[in-house]
Amino acid sequence: MAGKALRLQWREGNRIDLLQNGEAFFPALCAAIDAATHQVHLETYIFNLDDTGLSVLEHLQQACNRGVKVRVVIDGYGSHQHALEISARLGAMGAQYRIYRPEPTGLRHVKFDLRRLRRLHRKVCVIDESIAFVGGINILDDFVDVPDDGRGLRPRFDFAVRLQGPIVDDVARSQRALWLRMAWRRRDDWAAFYRRLTSWAQWRGARRKVVTQAFNPGRRAAFLLRDNVRFRQTIEDVYLATLVDAKSDILIANAYFFPGRRLRKALEGAARRGVRVRLLLQGRAEYPMQYRASRYMYCKLLDDGIEIYEYMASYLHAKVAVIDNCAMVGSSNLDPFSLLLAREANVFVQDTGFADELKAALEAEMQNDAQRVTEEALQRRGVIGRWIDACAYLMLRFGVAVTGKSSEY
C-alpha cells in the first residue's frame, strides 16, 4: 500500500465534500466565513478584484466586524496586479495580511533570480480550526478571461474539497508554520514577536488536549505538502507509489502536464501491466508554451498505450486524479513549477465512494466536452505545428535545467 510505504499521516473519520468549480466552491467558502466565530485564515495564489474577489472581501469584512481574527496570505507574483489594493482593503477592515515573496520593484524587477520562481501556489482556507478548504481554485471568478467559442462562456474546470474532522488540524498547522516563517523575516519588533510566540505556544499546548471531532462513518485521508525544505518530493512520491500499485484504472486531469522521468515511467509501466491510463489535459491553451510542450510528448504517450483527452469547453485548471480507490485533489500540477519550485497542498483520499464521485465528474466532462487525441489528429498538425511543439518542449527543458534538476526530466 502506497500510504504505508511512505509513512503518511493518515487521518480517519473525516467528512470530505467534493466541490466542482467556483459555482460550488465560493458559496461554501463564504457560508463558512459567515459562520466563523474565532478565526479565518486564507491563503491563495491569485486574489483577483473581480465580482467574486470583492464578494469574498465583503464576507471577510463582515467577519472582522464580528470580532473574528482574519488572516490572509497572497502570493506576490500571482496576485501582483492587485496586491497593494488588496493589502489596503484588508488593513482597513482590521485583518492581518502578508504577501508571500513580493515582486521586486525598479531594476530588480528585470533581474533574473531563481528565488522569484518559488511561489505560494497552494489554495487553502481554515475556519475556526474546524473546517478547511483545499484545492486548485483561486479567488478568481470562473468566467474571467475564459475563451469564447461563440456558444457562450463556460467556467474554468476545477475542483476543491471541504474538510471536517482530524485532517483539519494538519491543514491548520501548515498555515501556522508558514505564517510564523513569514513573521520571522525582516522584523524590527522582536520583543512583541517573542510575546506573541509565547502566547501562541501556550494556546497550542491547550489546543492539543482537545480531541478533534471524528465523523463515523468517515473518510480516510492525508494532507500533503510540497515545499523546498522538508517536503520537497512528498506529492510526487505519493503519485509514484500509487501509480506503481495501480491495478485497474488511472485517470488524471491536469492543467499543466509536464511530468518528470520517474512519473512518465510509472505511467508507462502501469499501461504495460494492463491498467487503463487516461489523461484529461487542456485543449484550450491558457499558456501556449506549456500547452505546446505537453503536446510534444503526446506521440510517446500514445505509443505507451495511454489515452489522452483534451478539454475543449473552457480552460481546464484542475489538478486531480483517481487511481483505483484513491483520489488526489489539490493545487499541484504535474510539471516542474509545482514539483520543483512552488509551495503546494493536496489532499490524498483513500475512499472508494469519494474516488467514484470524482471519477464520475471527470468522465462526464470527458464525454460531453472533451475530444480524444489520436495519432491521425497529431499528424494533421503539419510540420510547422510539430516544430513549434518541439521548440516549446526544449525551452521548458532549458527552464528546468536552470533549476538544477535537469536529471529528473
Give CA torsion, residues 377, 382, 384, 385, to 10 deg.
Answer: 0
| Cross-strand partners of 278 | 251, 307
Lowest average pLDDT, out of 3-12, 187-196, 284-293, goes to: 187-196
Residue 183: CB atoms within 10 A of its CB come to: 14
Q: Is the pLDDT of residue 407 over 80?
A: no
Among 59, 75, 121, 142, which one carries the catalytic annotation?
A: 121
Q: Smallest Cα–Cα separation from 60: which of 122, 139, 131?
A: 139
Task: Give the pLDDT of residue 198.
Answer: 61
Q: Is the pLDDT of residue 107 over 90?
A: no
Is 38 a catalytic site residue? Answer: no
- Residue whose C-alpha cell reads 490572509 in the numeric block: 72
Q: Is the pLDDT of residue 203 over 60?
A: no
- Quick one: pLDDT band at residue 381, thresholds 50, 70, 90? confident
* Bridge-based pairing state of the strands 276-282 and 307-311: parallel
Among 319, 335, 351, 369, which one carries the catalytic annotation?
A: 319
- Quick one: pLDDT band at residue 241, thresholds 50, 70, 90? very high
Could you tell me the CA-to-CA distances from 331 to 43, 179, 308, 319, 354 in Å, in that order? 12, 19, 21, 6, 18
| Cross-strand partners of 221 | 11, 349
Is 111 a catalytic site residue? Answer: no
CB-based burial label for 230 (10 Å; 0-12, 13-18, 19+): exposed
Q: Where are the alpha helices (DSSP H) in 35-104?
A: 51-65, 83-93
* CATH fold label, 222-408: Endonuclease; Chain A (3.30.870)
Q: Is the pLDDT of residue 373 over 60?
A: yes
Residues of the chain within CATH 3.30.870.10 domain(s) are 2-207, 222-408
Please state, in angstroms and rounded to a whole number, the distance separating the CA atoms of residues 329 and 263: 17
Is 82 a catalytic site residue? Answer: no
List phi, psi (to 5°) of 277. -115, 120
Q: Smallest Cα–Cα separation from 305: which of 275, 334, 335?
A: 275
SS3 content of the chain, % helix, strand, coil (to 5): 45, 25, 30
- Quick one: pLDDT band at residue 189, thresholds 50, 70, 90? low
What mean pLDDT do residues 387-393 have?
95
pLDDT in tens, 153-184: 999 999 999 999 999 999 999 999 999 999 87
Among 123, 158, 169, 170, which one carries the catalytic annotation?
A: 123
What SS3 state is found at 138? Answer: coil
Q: How high is the mean pLDDT of the chain?
A: 91
Among 141, 169, 227, 317, which one carries the catalytic annotation?
A: 317
Which CATH superfamily hosts domain 2-207? Endonuclease Chain A (3.30.870.10)
The answer to whether 25 touches 19, Cβ cutoff 8 Å, is: yes
- CA angle, 18 then 20 then 24, to 5°: 95
Among 80, 324, 359, 405, which one carries the catalytic annotation?
A: 324
Kind and range of the H or E run holding 31 = helix 21-34
- pTM across the whole model: 0.92
| Cross-strand partners of 330 | 346
Is 121 a catalytic site residue? Answer: yes
The answer to whether 11 touches 164, Cβ cutoff 8 Å, is: no
Please state, in angstroms and rounded to a whole number, the distance separating the CA atoms of residues 13 and 219: 5
Among 17, 50, 69, 128, which one carries the catalytic annotation?
A: 128
- Quick one: pLDDT band at residue 1, thresholds 50, 70, 90? very low
Is 319 a catalytic site residue? Answer: yes
Cα 62 from chain centroid? 27
Q: Is the pLDDT of residue 2 over 80?
A: no
pLDDT in tens, 36-77: 999 999 999 999 999 999 999 999 999 999 999 999 999 999
| Cross-strand partners of 311 | 282, 370
Is 317 a catalytic site residue? Answer: yes
Task: Give the pLDDT of residue 76.
Answer: 96
The answer to whether 132 touches 123, Cβ cutoff 8 Å, is: no
